[in-house]
Amino acid sequence: QKEVEQDPGPLSVPEGAIVSLNCTYSNSAFQYFMWYRQYSRKGPELLMYTYSSGNKEDGRFTAQVDKSSKYISLFIRDSQPSDSATYLCAMSTNSGYSTLTFGKGTMLLVSP
């Protein structure tokens, strides 16, 4: 079983739709959870960052972490064509010397 699983998509939605992007993971030691957005031919940029369980909201974006199910989600409300990108989940542990573990990314296409 891979450490972080993420459906590669593509996920195609019409403008204005609510989008749900998800990752599952196997390592219960993960404590930090992130979502990165990557536009075509660009480097990833941090979109949302949460520590441990719970929800975090930032404008149209909501990140949700359910550690009991080892499942994280990113919700995008009122999706826009400018949201078309690849979304990568990432996570790390809280033990002294660890790097990020990334999902492979989900490609999202929002059509006008």
7 DSSP assignment: -
Contact partners, residue 66, CB within 8 Å, separation at least 6 = 53, 72, 73
Question: Binding another protein by CB under 8 A: which of 32, 60, 70, 75?
Answer: 32
Q: How far is the CB of 71 from another protein (least distance, A)?
A: 18
- For residue 6, give the nearest of 96, 92, 109, 102 by alpha carbon: 102
Q: From residue 46 to residue 75, what is the string marking binding to another protein with x (rule CB under 8 A)?
A: x--x--------------------------
Long-range Cβ pairs for the range 47-52 (8 Å, 24+): 47/74, 47/87, 48/74
Stretch that binds another protein, among 13-21, 31-39, 61-69, 74-82 (CB under 8 A): 31-39
Does 28 help bind another protein (rule: CB under 8 A)?
no
Question: Binding another protein by CB under 8 A: which of 13, 17, 100, 109?
Answer: 100
Does 10 help bind another protein (rule: CB under 8 A)?
no
Instruction: Specify whether the CB–CB gap between 64 and 55 falls below 8 A.
Output: yes
The residues that touch another protein, with contacts defined as CB under 8 A, are: 8, 32, 34, 36, 41-46, 49, 88, 90-100, 102-105
